[in-house]
Amino acid sequence: MSQPVPHASRTLKAILTLVCLAFFAGGCVAGVITYRAIAEAHASKQWPTARGKIVRSGVDVSVHRDRSRDRDRRREETRSYSAAIEYEFQVNEEVFHGTRIAVISDQFGSKGWAESTAKRFPVGSDVTVSFNPASPEQCVLEPGRWGGAGFLLILTILFGTFPPLVLRAIWSSTPVDTSLHPETRSQRILNGLEVRERVLTWEPGQLVHLQRDSISFVKVIGGAIVAGLVLGLLFGLAPALFFFAGRGPIFIGQFYLVASAAMAVITGVWLWLDNRPRETRIEWSTERIQLVVGGGIFDASFSQVQKLTVIAPQPKRASSPGHEPSIAVRVNMVVNEKAFTIVESECPAGALRHVRTKLTSAARELSISMNVPFEEVQ
């Protein structure tokens, strides 16, 4: 019979809820700013224009000093660069000044970007300024361009979509089907234990045929994105706030998104590799073994099998009361010095002994029928 997986503790749920709500709040704020910026950019295409002149063009440098108590780190500083563009123009014989190129700056905080932008607008050059006739001080040099609003739109979509989905999964009272394939549980029972493989045939001494499908592409992508957003906090947002706080929110947000994208790719690759389709077919009439892993097919004879192993890692201490970590127990077949997983089952730490006993019994029965060594590994 399958082993129940313990529910997450209320403390863990509360922490995850607060994180999700913080993300969602950030998405709402970004959404409001994005909407206003896009609306202004669209309206700016209809604004009247006036001839203007660049009166200042250069690079501003902001220095952010580390406030750490460590004396060696106290001397460290981070420099942020931004293009300092100022222009003037006249409306009804009244002089106005502006500093915006686009509705929202899309600067990265790099010196090269700031210098290249300043070169585009040298002092004394003539420019065309688009201004709001109701408020001429609201002006831009490049009407219709979103600038940093495009980046904020990405944040709005990510933070406005995924946190509610995660919250629904956390607090839903409806059991979630976590099976890796649509087959019924009865097809995945071996020695009274639920495993991840479909047990098509289990007759050691005659024929053993096991098969596991890969998880769906949607689950891989969804899991990778959620993991990327969460891990991006640790490997993206936290380092950015610590080392690059002086470079502005746009740079910090972009640093976070890049780190999140990298974490999502790594997680997606890991999910795909760990859940590739597998198939094991052992025939005693021919003493042949066929192993399929992903797109690779391996054929071997019984004489090429070195041993069968049951791998059951030692359980880690629970991170919080009532929340036991999940442990994967595997039966591996070593063929020509290469290990192939043929049976796998996941269980909470409290059920480890029961699962290990069941899989050990199945693996020992298989090893005796194949006349190969058997061992348990922790």
**What pLDDT sits at residue 2?**
39
Q: What is the DSSP string of 272-335?
A: HHHT--EEEEEETTTTEEEEEETTEEEEEEGGGEEEEEEE-PPPPPPSBTTBPPEEEEEEEEEE
Region 18-32 average pLDDT: 84
Highest mean pLDDT pick, 195-204, 221-230, 344-353:
195-204
**What pLDDT sits at residue 166?**
73
Whether 210 contacts 363, CB under 8 Å: no
Rounded to whole angstroms, the Cα distance separating 204 from 106 reads 66
Q: Percentage of the chain with pLDDT > 70?
A: 78
pLDDT at 334 over 60: yes
pLDDT at 281 over 90: yes
**What pLDDT sits at residue 110?**
67
Structural domain boundaries of the chain? 8-45+144-175, 47-139, 177-214+276-378, 215-275
Q: DSSP assignment, residue 372?
A: -
369 against 109, higher pLDDT: 369
Q: Is this model's pTM higher than 0.75 or not?
A: no
Q: Name the band, by pLDDT with cuts 50, 70 and 90, for residue 248.
A: low
Q: DSSP assignment, residue 235?
A: I
Instruction: Give per-residue burial for 224-258: e unless 16+ CB within 10 Å, then b.
Output: bbbbbbbbbbeebbeebeeebbbbbebbbbbbbbe
Two tokens, residue 326: 């999940």
In degrees and rounded to multiples of 5, residue 328 shows phi and psi of -100, 125
Amino acid at 193: L
98 against 230, higher pLDDT: 98
**What pLDDT sits at residue 122?**
93
At how many degrees (to 10) do helices 217-232 and 149-171 cross? Answer: 110
**What pLDDT sits at residue 304?**
93
Whether 358 contacts 192, CB under 8 Å: yes
> Each residue of 181-223: pLDDT tens digit?
444 567 888 888 888 888 899 999 999 999 887 666 677 777 7
Q: Name the band, by pLDDT with cuts 50, 70 and 90, for residue 1.
A: very low
| Of 364, 301, 367, 374, the residue nearest 336 (C-alpha) | 301
Dihedral angle at the C-alpha atoms of 71, 72, 74, 80, nearest 10 degrees?
180
Average pLDDT, the chain: 79
Rounded to whole angstroms, the Cα distance separating 240 from 254 reads 10
| Of 165, 173, 171, the residue nearest 13 (C-alpha) | 171
Region 140-158 average pLDDT: 81
pLDDT at 178 over 50: no
Instruction: Give per-residue burial for 336-353: e unless 16+ CB within 10 Å, then b.
Output: eeeebbbbbbbbbbebbe
Q: Name the band, by pLDDT with cuts 50, 70 and 90, for residue 354.
A: confident
**What pLDDT sits at residue 89?**
96
> Each residue of 64-116: pLDDT tens digit?
565 544 555 445 566 677 888 999 999 998 999 999 988 887 655 667 778 88
H/E segment holding residue 86: strand 77-91
**What pLDDT sits at residue 289?**
93
